[in-house]
Structure 1
Amino acid sequence: MINLKPYKKKKSADFLKEIIDKKSTTKADPEYHSRLVLVKPQVLDQYVIFDQYFITNSLEKISAFGFKDKQLADLLKLYSYKNKFVQALKVDVTTTASNRKIGTCQNCTISEVNSMDHILPKIDYAEFSVHPSNLFPSCTICNSYKSTIWEKDGTRFFLNLYLDILPPQQYLFVKIIDGGNTPRAQFYLDNRNSIDKDIFRLINSHYDGLHLCERFSQNIDLVVTPLKNAIKSFIGDLSIDRIKSINLERIKKDLDSFGSNYWKSILEAALLNDKDFISSIQKHSLTE
C-alpha cells in the first residue's frame, strides 16, 4: 500500500467543463446537455469548497449540496469508469515518478484496479461525481465493502491515500500457523512502533472496514507457492542461510517499492523465518 499523487494536470473546474462539453444530447433526452449547462455554476461553486477542504485534508467537513430528482440523476450520469477523461486520470495518478504503472488497488493491494472509488460517495455528493480529487483508483471488492459508509459524526472510516501519508513504521504483522507444507497465516495490526494514534486509528478502521487481514489470509497461496519454488530452485547449489539472505534482500527492495507494510512481503519474511516451513521445503526437495 502506497500513497498516490493527486491529479494536477488540469484544474478541477476545467476537468468538469471538459466532461460536460463532451456530453451530447440524445433522442431519448434532448435537453440533457442544456440542463447540465444550467446546473454547472452551482457545481463549480461546490468545487471551490471541495478544493479548499482537500488542501487541508478535511473533506469530512463538507456539507452535501443536496441535489434532487432530475438534477441528481443528471450529475450522477456524468460519471462513467470508461469515460476517456476518467481513464486518463487513472493513468496519471497510478504512474509513479519512475514511470512505473500501478495496476493493483492500493486500498487493498490484492485485486486489480477496475473501478473508481468516490471518496465522498457520489449518491450523497452528486456534485463531486467527476471531481478529479474525489476519484481514487480501486477494485470493485473494496468499493462494495466501502459502499456509502465513509464517516460518522465527522470521523472518517477510510484512508484517503492521496492525503493520509502512510507511516514508514511497520504496523502489519503476521502469525504463521502450522508452518509446514501447507501453512496458514493470521494477519493483524499492532502499534508496537509508536505510530501517531490518529493515523493508526484510521489505518485500523480502513483495514477493518475492507476486511483486509481476512482477505490477505485467504490469498496467501499467491505468496506461498512462488516462494517455495524460488527456494527449491537454489537448494543444492546454495546453503539455506544464503537462500534466505538473498530472498530477504529482495523483500527489502519490494517493501521500498510497494510500501513498508506490503502484505506479501510481510508474509514472505515471516515464512523465511519459520523453521517448520523451511524444513518442509528441504524435506520435499529430497524426494522430488
Structure 2
Amino acid sequence: MLKINSYNESSFSFYKDVVSSKRNTVNKPRLKGELETISNDQSSYFDVYDDAFSSNSLSSIAAGSYNDNDKANLNGLYSYRSKKIQELKNLLTRHPLHTENILNTCQNCTINEADTMDHVLAQTEFPEFAVHPKNLFPCCGFCNKKKSDKYVDEEGNLLFLNLFLDDLPQSQYLHVNFGDNWLPRFYLDQPTDVSDKVFNLIKSHYERLDLLTRFS
C-alpha cells in the first residue's frame, strides 16, 4: 500500500466545472437552475469537507439537509466515465514519488486494477460530496463493493484507512507463513512501535476488505 497524493487545487472549482459540463434534459429541464440555486450551500459544505480533510477528521462531518430532488441532482453529477472524473483519476493515479509513472493498482488492496472511484463519505448519505475531488479515491470494484457505504462503526470508530491522509507504519506488520504444499497464510502482527489505535485501524481495513484471504 502507498499513501497517494490528493487533489491540491480548488475543490469547489472542480465541482463547478462538473456542473458546467451538465446539460438540461427532457427529464431534467431545470437541472442547471436547480444546481445553481444550491451553489452557495455547496460552497459551504465543500469548505467544511476541506477543513475536515486537512485535520483528518472526516468522521466529524454531518450530512447536509437537501430535499430528495436536490440529492438526486447532486448524485447525478457523478459518472465514472465522465471526462472530469477520468481526468481526476488519471491525476490521482500518478505515482506519489515518480510522477512520470501511472500507479493504476488499487492501493486499498494492491491486488486489482483501480477501475472505479470509491466515495470516502458515501453518496447515499452525503450526495453533496458526490464529486468532491478529495472524496473520490481510485480503487478496484471488489474493494468498492466490500466497503459499501461504511466509513465508521456505531461508536464512530474509523473502519478503513484513508490513503490520502493516513500514514502507514514503517515497521512491518504484514507477515506470511508457508504450510503444507507451500500454501501461504498471511497474518497481521502489531509492532512494538505502532499504537493500538493505528494497528486497530489497519486490522479493520484488512478484515473488512478480506485482504488476508485475498492475498493467499
How high is the TM-score relative to the length of structure 1?
A: 0.72
Deviation at 1:91, TM superposition (A): 1.1
Could you tell me which runs of 5 or more consecutive residues in structure 1 were left unpaired when the two chains were aligned: 218-288
Give 1:163's aligned residue. Answer: 165
Deviation at 1:137, TM superposition (A): 0.2
Deviation at 1:169, TM superposition (A): 0.9
Deviation at 1:109, TM superposition (A): 0.5
What is the 5 A alignment of 1:176-191? 176-178=178-180, 180=181, 183-191=182-190
In the TM superposition, structure 1's runs of 4+ consecutive aligned residues that sit over 2 Å from their partners are: none
What is the 5 A alignment of 1:18-33? 18-33=17-32
Give 2:64's aligned residue. Answer: 65
Preserved CA contact (<8 Å) 1:117 1:143:
yes
Secondary structure, in 3 states, of the residue corresponding to 1:105?
coil
Q: Give 1:104's aligned amino acid.
A: T
* Residues in 2 aligned to 1:88 and 1:205: alpha-carbon distance in whole angstroms: 31
Give 1:285's aligned residue. Answer: none
Deviation at 1:193, TM superposition (A): 4.2
Give 1:205's aligned residue. Answer: 204
How high is the TM-score relative to the length of structure 2?
A: 0.95
Give 1:172's aligned residue. Answer: 174
Deviations 1:166-218 (A, max 9, x none): 1111000111012x4xx21111100134312211111001001100001111x
* Residues in 1 aligned to 2:103 and 2:93: alpha-carbon distance in whole angstroms: 5
What is the 5 A alignment of 1:1-288? 1-8=1-8, 10-96=9-95, 97-98=97-98, 99-152=100-153, 153-178=155-180, 180=181, 183-217=182-216
* Residues in 2 aligned to 1:187 and 1:131: alpha-carbon distance in whole angstroms: 35
Q: Give 1:139's aligned amino acid.
A: C
* Residues in 2 aligned to 1:66 and 1:60: alpha-carbon distance in whole angstroms: 17
Secondary structure, in 3 states, of the residue corresponding to 2:134?
helix
**Among the aligned pairs, what percent are the same residue?**
39
* Residues in 2 aligned to 1:25 and 1:59: alpha-carbon distance in whole angstroms: 33
Deviations 1:103-136 (A, max 9, x none): 1100001111110011101110000000000000
Higher RCO, Cα 8 Å, sep 6+: 2
* Residues in 2 aligned to 1:121 and 1:191: alpha-carbon distance in whole angstroms: 30
Deviation at 1:87, TM superposition (A): 1.0
Could you tell me which runs of 5 or more consecutive residues in structure 2 were left unpaired when the two chains were aligned: none
Deviation at 1:82, TM superposition (A): 0.9
Preserved CA contact (<8 Å) 2:105 2:114:
yes
Deviations 1:218-252 (A, max 9, x none): xxxxxxxxxxxxxxxxxxxxxxxxxxxxxxxxxxx
Deviations 1:151-173 (A, max 9, x none): 02321100000000111110001
* Residues in 2 aligned to 1:83 and 1:167: alpha-carbon distance in whole angstroms: 36
Deviation at 1:33, TM superposition (A): 1.3
Secondary structure, in 3 states, of the residue corresponding to 1:7?
coil
Deviations 1:44-70 (A, max 9, x none): 110010111100000000000132311
Preserved CA contact (<8 Å) 2:175 2:188:
yes
Number of aligned residue pairs: give it: 213
More helix as a share of residues = 1
Question: Larger radius of gyration, structure 1 or 2?
Answer: 1
Preserved CA contact (<8 Å) 2:118 2:138:
yes
